[in-house]
Every structure is written in structure tokens, then in C-alpha cells.
Amino acid sequence: MTGAADRARRPLTTFARYVALGGGSMILNIAIVALLSETVKASPALAGALGYGTIFVVNYFVARRFVFRSNAAVLAEVTRFAAVQLTSRVGEYGAYLALVYAAHISYFWSIVLVGLCFFMVKFGIYRFLVFKPEDAEKSCKT
């Protein structure tokens, strides 16, 4: 495969890995919450906090190595990742409320629309701002 063809395919491969990460983290989160809730009878709040905390850590490291192949400094990168996570959750909630109360769209479709839109936007943010492309290029060569 030529270098140009490889570079053209790389964003699609990266996006496919990003989709796999999203699906895998959802399954992991559900498994952790169910396990803690059903086996040790943890409260939903505790089980949810541990599930979300776990997938935050797992998502960062999997996105760093498997999805975006970054080799940048961890502290700066994880700080950017946490900032995106926090602001996107606030934005998602605001968009959800706007669709439900202002646009009068059902909660189900509001969740689906907001989730899909933010999923796509976060891919671009992660690819170009959190996991820097020049860092990804260097790690692809090693």
C-alpha cells in the first residue's frame, strides 16, 4: 500500500477503533455496575461511581495506545482528556435538556441524538487536540 493510501485509510481505521472503544467501555461499565450491585450489594451511587471511574482510566489508556497511538507526555494529555470529558458531559446534559424541554423531543431520541453528535465531535477533539497528530505519527513509525 502506498504512503498516501495508508494515510487516507488511517482516519477510518482510527475511527473504527474509536467505535470499538466506545462499545467496549459501555459493556465494561455495565458489567462493573451489575457485578457490584448484584454480588456485593453496593449502592447504585457507589457502583456507578466505580464503573465510571474505571472506564475513565481504561478509556484514556486504550485511546492513547490503541486508538490514537500517542506517545505524548501523559500528564498534559490526561489533563486535556479529563477537560474534554468534563465539558462534554456538561454539554451533553444541556443539549439533552434543550431537546426535551425546548424542542419537545422524547427523552429516548434526545439521548440518542445528543450521544451520536457528541460522539462524533469528541472523536475530532481527541484526534486533533487531546492526542496530538504529530505524536501519533511518531509512534506509528516505531
For every one of its 142 residues, what pLDDT tens digit does the chain have, with 9 covering 90 and above?
A: 444 444 455 888 999 999 999 999 989 989 999 999 899 999 988 988 998 999 999 999 999 999 999 988 899 999 999 999 999 989 999 999 999 999 999 988 998 899 899 999 999 999 999 997 554 445 455 4
Say which residue the cell 448484584 belongs to. 38
| Grid cell listed for 40 | 456485593
Tell me the pTM.
0.77
* Per-residue pLDDT, 1: 46
Q: Which residue type is seen at 67?
A: V
* Per-residue pLDDT, 134: 55
Distance CA 24, CA 28 (A): 6
Half-sphere exposure of 79 (CA within 13 A, CB side): 5
